Chains A and B, each alone.
Chain A
Amino acid sequence: MSDSTAIAHGAEAGAHHEHPPYQRHHFETVNQQFDATNFAMWLFLLTEIMFFGGLFTAYLILRNWYYPAFVEGSHQLSIFWGTANTTVLIISSFTMAMSVWNAQMRRKSALLLCLVLTFILGLVFLGIKGIEWHEKWVKFHVPGLHYSDQTFLNPASDHEVYAEYHDKPLAPDMASKAQQYFFLYFAMTGMHALHMVIGICILGFMIVRAKAGAYTSGHVTFVENFGLYWHFVDIVWIFLFPLLYLISRHQ
């Protein structure tokens, strides 16, 4: 364990210990502080895995129950926008990783640039998500609020999608289950977007702090831990993208 490096010292030595200003009083060394907060962040991500885990479980089960409805539901998503968004998010993950590197190297302006890029890419992602959600609204595919089975009872009515997939009409019973697909689509992308929004807010805060030079004086813990969060959100999307957009393209 890394705390074996913790050095026991008497009270008088402790009083005159030279600590960097960012070291909290209850840690023995900066390394211990870094290890502890880093580990805490990982544990938090563990809870996030389980948080999304519930949704993934629901998706898996209901998809198997209402397979045809889920297939036709996913045909309503645009692979173009989905791919674009995946690319945006992957690049933002890259710029985030570079932010951590720049902070470690104490390159302030490069760090700022990378953080701002990440911030912008995050907004772009949400913008594209907004376009997609808007399209769902227009097509009455927002279950609970603005919904109709029409597309699945009569796929030919939706010319664009029909031209590509030639979906067969579903029996009314099955067609009504397409809303389960959209429930989960909105729950999953919504939860993901909520995490993005939180992340973007923290990014904004970090940009202000980075301008003041808070992360380029050797204390990169915050940037590093936020990076973990951001990458995690990216990973969730890496799974959402094939599950929601891709795997049913051919069925």
Chain B
Amino acid sequence: MSAVTIVSLPDQATARVPKVNFLTKENGLLSWLLTGDHKRIATLYLISITFFFFIGGALAGLIRLELLTPQSDLMAADTYNKVFSMHGLIMVFFFLVPSVPATIGNFLMPLMVGAKDLALPKINLLSWYLYIIAGAMMLYTMAAGGVDTGWTFTTPLSTHYLNTNVISAGLAVFVAGFSSIFTGLNFIVTIHKMRCPGMTWFRLPLFVWSNYAASILMVLGTPVLAITLVLIVLERTVGIGVFDPAKGGDPLLFQHLFWFYSHPAVYIMILPGMGVISEVVSTFSRKRVFGYTAVAFSSVAIAVFGFFVWAHHMFIMGISNYSALVFSLLTMLVAVPSAIKIFNWSFTLYKGSITFETPMLYAFGFMGLFTIGGMTGVFLGATGTDIHLTETYFIVAHFHFVMVGGMLMAFLAGIHFWWPKWTGRMYPEKISQLAAVVTFIGFNLTFFPQFILGTLGMPRRYAAYPPEFQVLNVFSSAGATILGVGYLLPILYLTWSLKYGEIAGDNPWQATGLEWQTQSPPLTENFAEIPIMDREAYDYEWLERQQQKEVASVG
């Protein structure tokens, strides 16, 4: 890696992690379980979603292991259905949706807007408890024999043809939905009402903008999923038949209502990740994000367009040709704000003083993989090619490029980037750079072959496949192993760094955000005094002047 670095750590011989910070303020389990502090809740969330990520990851491992051979020999086809359904449910509702907002977002939102806490700390804690209850219900579902509907609860499959635990899984997702509603609601209120003096809308970091956009989707989309799941549960328990064709109901209505949430949900997952990338790219190229306003508004535009495109998940389900046409055109529109972001990040890099710390490596991974994922989304948004490619591995590869290649990379970029702020200690740089590269290689090896498999016509959701697909599947499974190593490494060295990492100091990256101008880890009330924002976001010249002033006064 490049020898150039911007890291400026305090003198390790004398530096100490501040005695009083949010982690040490109070002790004991109860002080954590009853906390109102957004940073502690974020920590609780971080631990919980990591737990679920590894369950989901283990299930993914089982899937890839089964697909190593063409026959369904590791597990029965039924079991395979359950495994991929649980993988989807856990990853979507218990990892991807809360990943960045509920952990990094929760930690940073008040720090970035210059507030002492989120507007509604108790609701924030409630949101975590709801998440835990939902998680417990999902674990119960798994222990009780799992569910094999796929994560989409497709009717009438989920209501008529299966005897698995659809009810408990549905209720788990219902509860998890409320957890995410409360997070989103809290963010919107905080961003509107809790900004510190001088913090105008266009001085907000782009991370705040993208989380704001995602929160709008959470608040407006999730309740539709909630009522849909209620109807599914009622259909299984008391025989309500709104989605039951035998009773005159309409399964397509379920699809409309489900995707009305679940399409915006993919923007809930990706938008906060884009916010992380904006912060990271700016910090490690020492430049204000190119076209700040355009990037800010592109987040909002993605959120708004997100509500108009849901039926592109239903092109082969029998919706009318005319509405397919309209939804296809609207889908293409989403590519515009996404491209605006990619182009603006690229222009930010142009003539920047780029350094290659770990978060930046992940960010590069994001930009490459998200672009591929997004472009293949255009294939799927076009009705003609969609009919050929949907329900094949092409779509599996597409959304894994966006969700894993995009979102997970962004999540890891964010975790590494703010780790010093969160814990007061640095992660080990060399091994984490290695992990970022391993993840990138493993990811491509896992999912790129799936694009080819998809175009060759291998259908998704089957335990067995024709032998001629085996070579590419072996590649994919091998890649998954490497990817697994790439995800295990951070767990190990981040845990190690909690005790042995170098002391980070307030602002190891020389970043400009408000969160870097307070101690690491921050105080419970974030700032010693309420900050006043008297500059634009990403103003590196301000930072330089600030440092010169400090040197002058010390000298």
Point out residues on A near B: beta carbons under 8 Å: 1-4, 6-11, 14, 24-26, 28, 32, 35-37, 39-40, 43-44, 46-55, 57-58, 61-62, 65-66, 143-145, 176-177, 179-180, 183-184, 186-187, 191
B194 lies within 8 A of A50 (CB): no
Return the CB mask of B104-117 against A: 1 if under 8 Å, else 0: 00000000000111
Give CA–CA (A145, B227) in the complex, Å: 21
Which residues of chain A come closer than 8 Å to B194, judged between CB atoms?
Answer: 3, 32, 36
Given A39-B189, A180-B241, also A187-B529 (CB < 8 A): no
5 nearest CB pairs, A to B: A144-B239, A51-B223, A54-B227, A26-B117, A26-B116
Contact of B240 among A24, A43, A186 (CB under 8 A): A186
A186 — nearest CB in chain B belongs to which residue?
B240
B498 on interface, CB distance cutoff 8 Å: no
B304 on interface, CB distance cutoff 8 Å: no
B196 lies within 8 A of A54 (CB): no
Which residues of chain A come closer than 8 Å to B249, judged between CB atoms?
Answer: 62, 180, 183
B91 on interface, CB distance cutoff 8 Å: no
Give CA–CA (A54, B220) in the complex, Å: 12
A187 lies within 8 A of B234 (CB): yes
B528 lies within 8 A of A11 (CB): yes
Given A37-B120, A53-B224, A187-B234, also A32-B257 (CB < 8 A): no
The prevalent SS among residues of B at the interface is: helix
Give CA–CA (A144, B257) in the complex, Å: 22
Nearest Cβ in chain B — how far from A62, in angstroms?
Answer: 7
B226 — nearest CB in chain A belongs to which residue?
A51
Given A44-B185, A54-B227, also A179-B241 (CB < 8 A): yes
Which residues of chain B come closer than 8 Å to A176, judged between CB atoms?
Answer: 247-248
Which residues of chain A come closer than 8 Å to B185, judged between CB atoms?
Answer: 40, 43-44, 47
Give CA–CA (A61, B257) in the complex, Å: 12
Give CA–CA (A57, B242) in the complex, Å: 11
Return the CB mask of B515-544 against A: 1 if under 8 Å, else 0: 000000000010011111000000000000
A40 lies within 8 A of B119 (CB): yes
B98 on interface, CB distance cutoff 8 Å: no
B221 on interface, CB distance cutoff 8 Å: yes
B241 — nearest CB in chain A belongs to which residue?
A183
Give CA–CA (A46, B230) in the complex, Å: 18
Give CA–CA (A3, B230) in the complex, Å: 39
User: Which residues 119-159 of B sit at the A interface, judged by CB distance below 8 A?
Assistant: 119-121, 123
Which residues of chain A come closer than 8 Å to B285, judged between CB atoms?
Answer: none
A43 lies within 8 A of B224 (CB): no
B326 on interface, CB distance cutoff 8 Å: no
Which residues of chain B come closer than 8 Å to A183, judged between CB atoms?
Answer: 240-242, 247, 249
Contact of B227 among A9, A46, A52, A65 (CB under 8 A): A52
Which residues of chain B come closer than 8 Å to A179, judged between CB atoms?
Answer: 241, 247-248
Which residues of chain B come closer than 8 Å to A1, judged between CB atoms?
Answer: 192-193, 195
Complex A-B: 9 CB contacts under 8 Å: A10-B529, A14-B530, A37-B119, A39-B192, A40-B189, A54-B228, A145-B239, A179-B248, A180-B241
